[in-house]
Structure 1
Amino acid sequence: MPPSDPIIRPATTDDLPAIIALLADDVLGRTREDASMPPADAYVRAFDAMMADGNQIQVVADRDGVVVGTLQVTIIPGLSRMGQTRGQIEGVRVAASERGAGLGEALIRWAIEACRTRGCALVQLTTDRSRTDAHRFYDRLGFTASHLGYKLTL
C-alpha cells in the first residue's frame, strides 16, 4: 500500500522529539540543536510557552503517524505600515526523505493561508545566507529578498 499524503496539523508535546530531530538534521542545525533524548528542558519550556501564546502556531506534517516536516508561525501585531499585522515563518524543516516532493511548498502555503486567516497583511521569513537552495525555493513561491537582517546573540 503506498504511503498516504501528509496531513498538516498542530504539533503536540508528543511531536517534540521529532521536531527537534528535524531542526538538528542539517549542517547548521547540527551545531545549534540537541536532539538527544529525552528533549532538553529548554525545549520543553519553549514549547509550553508557545502553546500558551495565542500568537504562536507550531505545525507538523504527519505521514502515517510519522512527522516528516514542521514550521512555526508567529503572528506579530505592530504599528508600522499603518498598524499592519504580520506573520513570521520560522524553523521550516522537511525530512531528507521527503525533500523535492512538494511538502515544503505545502507547508509554506499552509502558513501563508494561516497568516491571511489571522488578518496578516504581510508574511515574512529569514533564511541563512548559506542556504542557497532555500533562497531559490522562497523566490519561486513569490517571496522577495527585500531586507538585510541582523542578529545579536545574547
Structure 2
Amino acid sequence: MKIVKEKDLDRLKKLPNGVESVAKTLETDIKTGSLMIKRRLVDNMRDLVQKHIKSHLRRSKVRNSSENQIEVLRGNKRKKISMYEIVVGDVVCLKIGDEVPADGLLVEGNNLQVEEDDQDGETVQVDPDKNPFLFSGSIVVNSD
C-alpha cells in the first residue's frame, strides 16, 4: 500500500517482478482474476473497501446504481459487479468514464489517462512501466 500511496516507482521496480510481485503478495492471478486469498482476509478487507467507497460515493458525481457497476476479471471471466463488492486483489477492467473504485496498480494498458481527485481537473498519464499508480476517485478520460 505504501508503494502505491507514495507513487514509489523506484521501490516498485526493485521488486523482482514489479506489479506481478504485488499480485502474488495479494495471492491474485492477474491473467485470470482468480483470488486465492483466505476467506477471512477477504471479508475483513471487503468491509474496509466498502467503508471507503461509501464515504467516497457521497461526494462523488456518480450517484445512480447502474453507474456504480464496475467490470472485474474473476475466474478468467469478465463480470459486472457493484463497486461495493470489490475486494483486495480484484483485477478491474476500466473504460472511459469509469471511476477508479480503489487505489491500485495498472497491470496492462495503453494510453490510459485519468483525472485524479486531487489534481484539479488535470489529466495524468498512467503507464505500466513509468507511472502504474491508480487512485480511488480518479475518472478514466482516455483509454486504448
| TM > 0.5 | no
Which structure has the bigger radius of gyration?
A: 1
TM-score by length of 2: 0.32
Greater fraction of residues in helix: 1
Bigger relative contact order (CA 8 A; separation at least 6): 2
